[in-house]
Amino acid sequence: MGFAAKVRRTPGRFATGAFILNSGIGKWSADDETAARLHGMAAGTYPFLAKMRPKDFARLLSASELALGAALLLPVVPAVLAGAGLTVFSAGLLGLYVRTPGMHKEGSPMPTQQGIPIAKDVWMLAIGVGLVMDAVTDRKSDGA
């Protein structure tokens, strides 16, 4: 992998990694109310999550965000792997946006005021896909 490839990936990896890591730190010690809110929203979109206790869900979400944030921030983690993780994670968040009533305007993908905080996750999806595509198409790349 060339130096230029590593440099061009740095801003996206750093910005999203720091953001997600911070989010995971904030959720690690979530109180009961916050855990219930997070769990309720996620279980409403992904019913299989309803079986989990809210605190366990919040802790799992936090651990996932901590791991993904660290993977994005650590340059030793291959870009294709970090990008794939970011793509899957942000696609899950966008699933909340698409499936939760009131997040977007009726018959339109445009967000409502309530949906803006989740709709912005489309940028993380784009960065994740970009990292994967860049790593896969970089002829000199070993994926890092």
Number of domains in the chain: 1
Q: Residue 104 pairs with which residues in a beta bridge?
A: 111
The confidence score (pLDDT) of residue 139 equals 61
The confidence score (pLDDT) of residue 103 equals 92
Task: Give which of 99, 84, 35 is closest to 62, Cα–Cα.
Answer: 35
Residue 105 belongs to a domain:
yes
Q: What is the CA radius of gyration of the chain?
A: 16
Residue 103 belongs to a domain:
yes
Tokens for 34, please give them.
């916050």
The confidence score (pLDDT) of residue 144 equals 52
- DSSP 8-state secondary structure symbol assigned to residue 118: H
Q: Which domain holds residue 13?
A: 3-24+63-137
The confidence score (pLDDT) of residue 120 equals 85
Residue 34 belongs to a domain:
no
pLDDT along the chain (144 residues), means of 10: 76 95 96 96 94 97 98 94 97 92 91 90 94 84 50
Residue 99 belongs to a domain:
yes
The confidence score (pLDDT) of residue 7 equals 82
Prediction pTM value:
0.87
The confidence score (pLDDT) of residue 29 equals 95
